[in-house]
Amino acid sequence: MNKVLYHIIVGCLLVLVFVACGQQKSVAEQEESREAKQLLQGVWMEEGGELPVFQMKGDSVFYADSTSMPARFRVVGDTLYIGSANRYFIEKHTAHLLWFRNQNGELMKFEKSDDEDVKDEMAQQKPQILTLTEVLKRDTVVFFDSQRYHLYIAINPTKYKVSRPTINEDGMEVENVYYDNIIHLSIFKDGTQLFSRDFRKQQYAEKVPAQILQQSILNNMEFSKVDADGFHFNVSVCVPDDASCYLIDQMVSFSGKSSVKLLEY
């Protein structure tokens, strides 16, 4: 095969690949049902209920629960997609009725509300980012080996956001967002500072699995004890509103060296 013919064949194959990719993209774009999305626009409540559950507006779904973040949605065939991976099989869908299977396989029945008061209520609903800990300061005086030490702990909420997916009471997966904390620790001996540092949850990455750490906040730090090794503090790294919590021994030696040990989870 001469070089000219070879390049012609390769060029044709590349054209076919690009055309095929373009066709696949256009098919993917056509898969979403614009008609179904239009029918979903509005405020929905459980059949026979009086309170709104969610509102479909544009490409987004807004929840009546003020702690749940809005998410994008689309309808492909007989499936409602919310967020990046949540799928709900649609059993029935009309202009005023929506039935689908939730994450638990339960059949959820919703009806569209025409009540203007309900619509106004949803319009005024704004999602909130939760702060689980207020500014908290602790001063502790301890004695060891005839020496007096002053321990200062300050828990400070930040604007660093932590996202956590959870299942709401309607069996739908929603995303709650929380503010993480930074904890400051200072240790003094007779007015001389021995130790001072800001702690973030990332400093405990070796003790907490990455998947848990990503959804967790640095929850608390409390003085535990002082011994020959130094000062021990119980640090908790927890998933908000969940049982997943790691308790870590944060130790600071008398020379100011820091070390950690996992206590329980």
User: pLDDT band at residue 203, thresholds of 50, 70 and 90?
Assistant: very high
- Examine the domain organization and report whether 135 and 259 are in the same domain: yes
| Domain-terminating residue out of 123, 140, 172 | 123
Cα separation, 68 vs 166, in Å, equals: 9
Range of the structural domain that residue 230 is part of: 130-264
Which phi and psi angles does 132 have, rounded to 5°?
Answer: -85, -20
Q: If we measure between CA atoms, which residue out of 187, 129, 193, 179 comes closest to residue 154?
A: 187
- Examine the domain organization and report whether 103 and 149 are in the same domain: no
Position with higher pLDDT, 61 vs 129: 61
| Domain-terminating residue out of 105, 123, 141 | 123
Identify the pLDDT of residue 24. Answer: 45
- Examine the domain organization and report whether 141 and 189 are in the same domain: yes
Domain membership of residue 26 (yes or no) is no
- Examine the domain organization and report whether 158 and 259 are in the same domain: yes
CA distance readout (Å), 99 to 47, 85, 107, 169: 10, 19, 7, 16
For 78-98, the pLDDT digits (tens) are 999 998 778 999 999 999 999
Cα separation, 98 vs 141, in Å, equals: 62
Cα separation, 254 vs 231, in Å, equals: 8
Q: What would the mean pLDDT of 230-252 be, rounded to a whole number?
A: 93
| Domain-terminating residue out of 101, 123, 145 | 123
Cα separation, 27 vs 21, in Å, equals: 10
| For the chain, percent of residues with pLDDT exceeding 90 | 60
- Examine the domain organization and report whether 226 and 162 are in the same domain: yes
Identify the pLDDT of residue 14. Answer: 43
Statement: residue 21 has pLDDT above 50:
no
Position with higher pLDDT, 136 vs 196: 196
Partners of residue 88 on adjacent β-strands? 80
Return the DSSP state at 204: G
Helices (H), 41-134: 116-123
Statement: residue 23 has pLDDT above 70:
no
Statement: residue 5 has pLDDT above 60:
no
